[in-house]
């Protein structure tokens, strides 16, 4: 412990350099996608309440289910669902990207950028695609 105490005294006399934090770096796509992965994860955490509400309403009866349908069909409900779809897809594509990285592949600078872009573009394209499918499943333009 003696050397540790000596180290502590030396540190207080000569402050050690701090690790640079977020605001030091130029914003990069990989960084943004990393932050988005965490934010979408946290959003999906609370989004599970929507799934629970839907299932509980279906189990409760026609009246409760009609309430859920009314909310999901409203403008706010659709916005929430649209965001939920995007968050789910973004988190899933980001997760696949992380699984690929776990195998030590795709870590070169150009590949990292490509994966980050693919996560973003893929999630947006598939969200719109799914909503188009859902739109036509609902009977299309009426």
Partner 1 sequence: MSERAQMRTPLGRVRGLGPARSGTAHFWQQRLTSVSGIPLTVALIVIAISLLGRSHATVVQVLGSPIVAITILLFIINSAYHMWIGMQEIILDYVHGEIVKLVSLIANTCFVFAVALASAYAILKLSFGV
**48: contact with partner 1 by CB under 8 A:** yes
Q: Decide whether 97 or 116 has the Cβ nearer to partner 1.
A: 97
Q: Of the ranges 10-18, 21-29, 91-99, 106-114, which one interacts with partner 1 (CB under 8 A)?
A: 91-99
**106: contact with partner 1 by CB under 8 A:** no
Question: In whole angstroms, how close is the CB of 80 to partner 1 at the nearest point?
Answer: 14
Q: Decide whether 48 or 110 has the Cβ nearer to partner 1.
A: 48
* Distance (Å, whole) CA 130 – CA 135: 8
Q: Decide whether 65 or 71 has the Cβ nearer to partner 1.
A: 65
Question: In whole angstroms, how close is the CB of 9 to partner 1 at the nearest point?
Answer: 17
**22: contact with partner 1 by CB under 8 A:** no
**31: contact with partner 1 by CB under 8 A:** no
CB 87 within 8 A of CB 44: yes
What phi and psi, each to the nearest 5 degrees, are found at residue 15?
Answer: -55, 135
* Distance (Å, whole) CA 88 – CA 93: 9
The four Cα atoms 4, 5, 7, 13 give a dihedral, to 10 degrees, of: 160
**Residue 53 burial (CB count, 10 A):** 15
Q: Decide whether 29 or 54 has the Cβ nearer to partner 1.
A: 54
Count how many residues are written for the chain: 142
Q: Is the dihedral of CA 21, 27, 28, 29 positive or negative?
A: positive
3-state secondary structure of 109: helix
Q: Of the ranges 24-32, 59-67, 106-114, 115-123, which one interacts with partner 1 (CB under 8 A)?
A: 59-67
Q: Pick one of 11, 32, 66, 125: the residue that binds partner 1 (CB under 8 A).
A: 66
């Amino acid at each position: 412990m003696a050397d540790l105490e000596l180290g502590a005294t030396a540190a207080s006399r000569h402050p050690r350099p701090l690790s640079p934090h977020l605001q030091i770096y130029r914003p990069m796509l990989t960084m943004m996608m990393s932050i988005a992965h965490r934010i979408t994860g946290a959003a999906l955490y609370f989004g599970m309440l929507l799934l629970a509400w839907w299932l509980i309403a279906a189990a409760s009866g026609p009246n409760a289910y009609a309430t859920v349908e009314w909310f999901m069909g409203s403008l706010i409900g659709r916005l929430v669902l649209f965001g939920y779809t995007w968050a789910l897809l973004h988190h899933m594509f980001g997760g696949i990207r992380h699984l690929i990285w776990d195998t030590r592949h795709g870590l070169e600078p150009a590949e990292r950028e490509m994966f980050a872009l693919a996560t973003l573009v893929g999630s947006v394209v598939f969200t719109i695609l799914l909503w188009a499918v859902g739109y036509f499943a609902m009977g299309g333009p009426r």
